[in-house]
Structure 1
Amino acid sequence: MQIQEFGNRFNEVSTNLLENMSGLNPCDRFAKFDISKIVAFSELYKDDFTIRERGCIEGELNVFYHTLREDDRFANLNGLCDLARLMVETGKHRSFPLAYRILKLALVLPVATATVERCFSKLKLAKTDLRNRMGDDFLNGALVCTVEKEIFDKVTDEDVMIRFQAMKERRGQIF
């Protein structure tokens, strides 16, 4: 039942993406590390790698795996965040730049996806049937205000009035 729900929630591309990301798992001394999955993951990001780099990824991942598996500092990692942090602390991100780039792509993906989902959710609130004819500039401004609500909550009315007054000369003072 859970697998069916998972299948209903995520399309095939998303499922492949998540499955291929799992090949980067550093837990238990890289027990589930799968180079073929990682290479498949990198192929989804063709624009981020040159043709030459794509040819080198598998070899670098092989050396990466054997080097970090033997290093005791990488023995007790709990996830991708720990792996990325320790790679930077030990300088391994310079030794394995392609592996590190793949790791960064995997770390950014959930944040990027959540941000886009949040924007579309807010778009539904901003663009209703009553506001269906608004222009792109107005819609963009409304969305920025809606999506970045936490930032706009800190702006006071006085700040807005001062900014508006300074934009051009007015007949009278606003405040």
Structure 2
Amino acid sequence: MVIILSFVNNHGILTERFFAIKSVSDTTSLNLKKDISNVLVHYDIQVKKIRGQGYGGASNMCGEWNGLQALFLRDCPYAYYVHCFAHRLQLTLVSAAKDVSVIWEFFSHLDNIVNIVTSSTKRIAELHTAQEMKLSICWKLENVILEVEPIRLSDDICKLEMNFYPEDFTDQDVVALENELVHYKLDVMQNLKVSTLVELCQQLTDSGRSKVYVMLNRLIHLVLTLHVSTVTTKRDFSAMKHVKTALRNKMKDDFLADCLTLYIERYLTKDIDVDSILDKFYVLKSRRAQLL
């Protein structure tokens, strides 16, 4: 079982981090909840502060009454569960392909097309060039649409705050949000060009407006923490085959978690001084072999 934390960092960027991996023999929802809670408590993370959860489509995970998400909702009614949109899309495509022969033939040929393209670096480069051209055209069209039809704000934002996140906003905060939205229409919508909520959050932080629109920025952070996809979890779990190889397939959970952290979050280890780590190992005890 892989645990991923999703949060908005200090730069206003939506971030997903590999947090822990734990082997479980009992996959019932009660046992999974116990194991996840133990990991969170160990790192002093309170369950009542969870604002979103996402799992696969198994019944022990997404069951409405006794699933893992339902058990966490009992402890924290604001830990909203969203079924992975990538999994929903996959189920839709499979169902559609079974009923329509043309779609079935399309996906049958698609495998051959992918194999042909990926077998040649020249074809891959041509594909990237074509994608960049299409993206540039879409970006221009998107900017035109945003200029013609800017995002319209309404009382729905305040209703979202009061109905879904009453634990995070007081009555005074609701009034403050209403005042912020008035200035937002005159300021942000005219000066910032954004197309997604992620871009809005980042630009509010970069421009310093997050300190002006405090309540709105908090609400955006809460909405972004909704786990709408489990792709990162599946990708990190797949990384285990690169770490737990045939030569080291007997490692325990703690050592495996440390190795996975270094592999998955390897860009965070660029500033680590390897020589200082070797020196610490030398100091611990005398060794017969020299450390590389």
TM-score, normalized by length of structure 1? 0.53
Q: How does 1:32-111 map to 2 (within 5 A)?
A: 32-37=152-157, 39-40=159-160, 43-45=163-165, 49-50=168-169, 53=170, 55-71=171-187, 75-79=190-194, 80=200, 81-86=202-207, 88=209, 92-93=212-213, 97-106=214-223, 109=225
Query: Would the alpha carbon gap of residues 31 and 159 (structure 1) be closer, same or farther in structure 2, given more than 3 Å must change?
Result: closer
Give the Å deviation of 1:143: 1.4
Give me the identity figure in percent.
Answer: 15
Structure 1 runs not aligned, ≥5 long: 12-26
Q: 1:150 corresponds to which letter in structure 2?
A: Y
Aligned to 2:65: none
TM-score, normalized by length of structure 2? 0.36
Q: Distance in 2 between matches of 1:102 and 1:61?
A: 9
Structure 2 runs not aligned, ≥5 long: 1-84, 92-145, 195-199
Q: Does the CA contact (< 8 Å) of 1:145 and 1:152 recur in 2?
A: yes
Aligned to 2:138: none
Query: Would the alpha carbon gap of residues 45 and 9 (structure 1) be closer, same or farther in structure 2, given more than 3 Å must change?
Result: farther
Q: Does 1:137 align with 2:254?
A: yes
Q: 2:285 corresponds to which letter in structure 1?
A: E
Q: Distance in 2 between matches of 1:133 and 1:46?
A: 47
Q: Distance in 2 between matches of 1:74 and 1:125?
A: 41
Q: Distance in 1 between matches of 2:250 and 2:89?
A: 32
Deviations 1:138-165 (A, max 9, x none): 2211211211223446667655432321
Q: Distance in 2 between matches of 1:169 and 1:60?
A: 60
Q: Does the CA contact (< 8 Å) of 1:69 and 1:75 recur in 2?
A: yes
Query: Would the alpha carbon gap of residues 68 and 154 (structure 1) be closer, same or farther in structure 2, given more than 3 Å must change?
Result: closer
Q: Does 1:123 align with 2:244?
A: no
Which protein is richer in strand relative to its size?
2
How many residue pairs get matched? 143
Aligned to 1:17: none
RMSD: 4.5
